[in-house]
Chain A
Amino acid sequence: MQLINRAMAGTLESSDAQISIAPGKDGIVLHIQSTVQNQYGRAIKQSVLDTLSKLGIENAEVDVNDRGALECTLRARVECAAYRSAGIEAGIPWEEM
Chain B
Amino acid sequence: MIQRKKPERFRLRRTMIFLSAQKPGLIKDPLIYGADSLMLDLEDAVAENQKDAARFSLYHALKTVDYGDTEVIVRINGLDTPHWREDVRVCVAAGADGVRIAKCESAGDVIAVEKAVEAAEEEFRKEKGRTLLMAALESPKGILNAQEIAAASGRMFGIAISGGDLRRTMQVSPVRGGIELNTARGLVVLAARAAGVQCFDTVFTDLNDEEGFRAEVLLDKQMGFDGKSLVNPRQIAAVHEIYAPSEKEITAAEKIVRAVRENAAKGVGVFTVDGKMIDIAFLPGAERTIALAKACGMYKGEL
Chain A positions near chain B (C-beta within 8 angstroms): 9-10, 13-16, 69-73, 75-77, 79-80, 83-84, 89-92, 94-95, 97
Closest to A84 in B: B52
> Which chain A positions have C-beta within 8 A of B63?
72, 97
Contacts of B55 in A (CB 8 A): 92
20 contacts between A and B (CB under 8 A): A13-B24, A14-B25, A15-B28, A16-B24, A16-B25, A70-B24, A72-B60, A72-B61, A76-B60, A80-B56, A84-B52, A90-B86, A92-B55, A92-B89, A94-B89, A94-B90, A94-B94, A95-B124, A95-B125, A97-B63
B56 close to A77 (CB less than 8 A)? yes
> Which residues of the other chain, A, contact B124 by a CB distance below 8 angstroms?
94-95
A85 to B55, CA, bound (A): 16
Chain A residue at minimum C-beta to C-beta distance from B60: A72
Interface residues of B (CB under 8 A from A): 23-25, 28, 52-53, 55-57, 59-61, 63-65, 85-86, 89-90, 93-94, 124-125
Interface pair A97/B59, CB less than 8 Å apart: yes
Chain B residues near A91: list those with CB within 8 A: 86
A71: which of B57, B64, B90 is its contact (CB, 8 Å)?
A: B64
B85 touching A90, Cβ below 8 Å: yes
The verdict on A94 contacting B23 (CB below 8 Å), with A10-B53, A76-B56 known, is no
Report the minimal beta-carbon distance from A91 to chain B, rounded to whole angstroms.
Answer: 8
Measured between alpha carbons, how far is A83 from B59 in the docked complex, in Å? 15
- A contact residues around B56 at 8 Å (CB): 9, 75-77, 79-80, 83, 97
Minimum C-beta distance from A57 to chain B (A): 15
Closest 4 CB pairs of A and B: A94-B93, A72-B60, A76-B56, A15-B25
Do A76 and B25 touch across chains, with their CB atoms under 8 A apart? Answer: no
A84: chain B residues within 8 A (beta carbon): 52
Complex CA–CA separation, A14 to B90 (angstroms) = 25
CA gap between A71 and B23 in the complex, in Å: 14
Do residues B90 and A92 form an inter-chain contact, with CB atoms below 8 A? yes
Instruction: Please determine whether A92 and B86 come into contact, CB atoms closer than 8 angstroms.
Output: yes
Whole-angstrom distance between the alpha carbons of A72 and B93 in the complex? 16
Q: Which residues of A contact B59 (CB under 8 A)?
A: 76, 94, 97
**Complexed CA–CA distance, A89 and B48 (Å):** 13
Closest CB in chain B relative to A39 CB, distance in Å: 18
Min Cβ gap A24→B in Å is: 22
B57:A76 contact, CB within 8 angstroms: yes
CA distance A75 to B53 in the complex (A): 11
Give Cα distance in the complex from A70 to B36, angstroms. 25
Given contacts A90-B85, A94-B59, A94-B124, contact A76 B53 (CB under 8 A): yes
**Across the interface, which residues of A come within 8 angstroms of B52, CB to CB?**
80, 83-84, 89
Task: Determine the residue in chain B with the shortest Cβ distance to A82.
Answer: B56
Residues A95 and B93 in contact, CB atoms below 8 Å apart: yes
Bound complex: CA of A89 vs CA of B25, how far in Å? 24
Please tell me if the beta carbons of A97 and B89 are within 8 angstroms of each other in the complex. Answer: no
Max chain B Cβ within 10 angstroms of own Cβ: one of A72, A77, A89: A72
A73 and B27 alpha carbons, distance in the complex (Å): 10
Q: Are A73 and B94 in contact (CB under 8 A)?
A: no
B23 x A13 contact (CB < 8 A): yes
Max chain B Cβ within 10 angstroms of own Cβ: one of A13, A69, A90: A90
Cβ-neighbour of A69 out of B24, B85, B86, B90 (below 8 A): B24
A72 and B28 CA atoms in complex are apart in Å by 9
